[in-house]
Amino acid sequence: QVQLVESGGGLVQAGGSLRLSCAASGRAVSSYAVGWFRQAPEKEREFVAAIRWSGRSTNYADSVKGRFTISRDNAQNTVYLQMDSLKPEDTAVYSCAAGERGISSIRYEYKYWGQGTQVTVSS
């Protein structure tokens, strides 16, 4: 069992930055990949970025490449999502998830999910 807790969401103006955190605890955390997904009102949940705990492999959605950076701190069992040059269309609830299928962009391949944190970008 893996528990995930997100933090760091909030309200920011377009062009601004936020850093989200995903604190993980539980059994064999280091064997999982961690992904960030987001869901805007009345839209499907979509992939944002993913990273392996044990390596440096990352994966990004095209919509965030060059603006968002995913990283991890193994000592703190925490994964971060640095979001720069934010746009109003980035507004969503952001959730982190852990899975054993690598840095997949497919939400169904993630087994454990956090509760999410709201990110709102004003124009």
Mean pLDDT of 38-53: 95
User: Cβ-count burial of 96 within 10 angstroms (0-12 exposed, 13-18 middle, 19+ buried)?
Assistant: buried
Is the pLDDT higher at 107 or at 54? 107
Query: pLDDT per residue over 57-93, tens digit each?
Result: 999 999 999 999 999 998 889 999 999 999 999 999 9
pLDDT at 31 over 90: no
∠ CA 8-27-69, rounded to 5°:
35
* Average pLDDT for the chain: 94
Q: How far is CA 100 from the centre of its chain?
A: 16
Q: What pLDDT is recorded for position 55?
A: 65
Contact by Cβ (8 Å): 121, 91: yes
Res. 21: pLDDT tops 70: yes
CA angle in degrees (0–180, nearest 5) for 28-73-18: 125
For residue 10, pLDDT beyond 70: yes
pLDDT band at 30 (very low <50, low <70, confident <90, very high): confident
